[in-house]
Amino acid sequence: MNAEEYKIYIDNVVRKVETARLKVSGHHIVKTVAISKYSTAADIAKLYNIGQRAFGENKVQDLKAKATELEELPLEWHFVGNLQKNKINNLLEINPTLFHALDSMELAEELQKKLEAKDMILDALLQINSAKEESKHGFMPEDASEAYARIQRECPNINLKGVMSIGAHSDDRDVIKKSFETTYEIYKNLDGATICSMGMSGDFELAIECGSNMVRLGSIMFNK
Ligand SMILES: *Cc1c(COP(=O)(O)O)cnc(C)c1O
């Protein structure tokens, strides 16, 4: 695809997001984070040139490498992957816009210590394992609200802004939908939460219809 074709292709993806959000309401705004984990810095620059500003990675070392290489561009970096405790300092050095995957109380406590020592505040989302899958990280739906309140109470350097979830791994649309509804139900009852991050390339329209206001699009944005 040349630059012109790529722009038309992306316009079409944007239109799909628009169509889905308008089904919810004209006031329902959805932000797209382009997940660049399978893409190069050059690919990111191409997408930036047609208007995309927010990008996300799932490995700290990749985030660091790409953020450094593209330093001169005014990009917004999100971190969406599982964060190992020994990588916390490396992540904080990059000072990401939003950490989507706060997935355990131990991680929250460790993050709090490191943030306090550096006198930093990190915006974060509580990850919910809404379909209770063995292969996924995150809080169980029944524990999520209490964990959210506890982190708000005990971790003053973590600024919780909402929740993140990955749709159920299934071919059954109803099963995926149920997992999004579970997350949305928790989200809407949280005190002060404004971000509900759910929906990837294969299921973002459904996620938006279930209330998502932040989609994480990888393969579809980079046409991989
Ligand atoms: C890779 C990834 C995405 C994007 O996945 P696609 O299916 O390529 O859109 C979104 N969220 C997380 C947490 C990811 O790891």
pLDDT digits over 51-109, tens only? 999 999 999 999 999 999 999 999 999 999 999 999 999 999 999 999 999 999 999 99
Q: Cα separations (Å) of 1 from 8, 41, 46, 47?
A: 10, 17, 11, 12
Q: Tell me, what amino acid is at 212?
A: S
Which fold does the domain 3-217 belong to in CATH?
TIM Barrel (3.20.20)
- Residue of 17, 35, 82, 166 to mutate, ligand 1, most atoms within 8 A of C-beta: 35
Task: Tell how far the Cα of 80 is from the centroid of ligand 1, in angstroms.
Answer: 8
Residues 29, 212, 103, 221, Cα dihedral to 10°:
-80
* Residue 200 beta carbon below 6 angstroms from any ligand 1 atom: yes
Sorted by where each begins, the domain ranges of the chain are 3-217
* Residue 137 beta carbon below 6 angstroms from any ligand 1 atom: no
Compute the residue count for the chain: 224
Task: Tell how far the Cα of 223 is from the centroid of ligand 1, in angstroms.
Answer: 13
Which ranges of the chain have pLDDT less than 50?
none
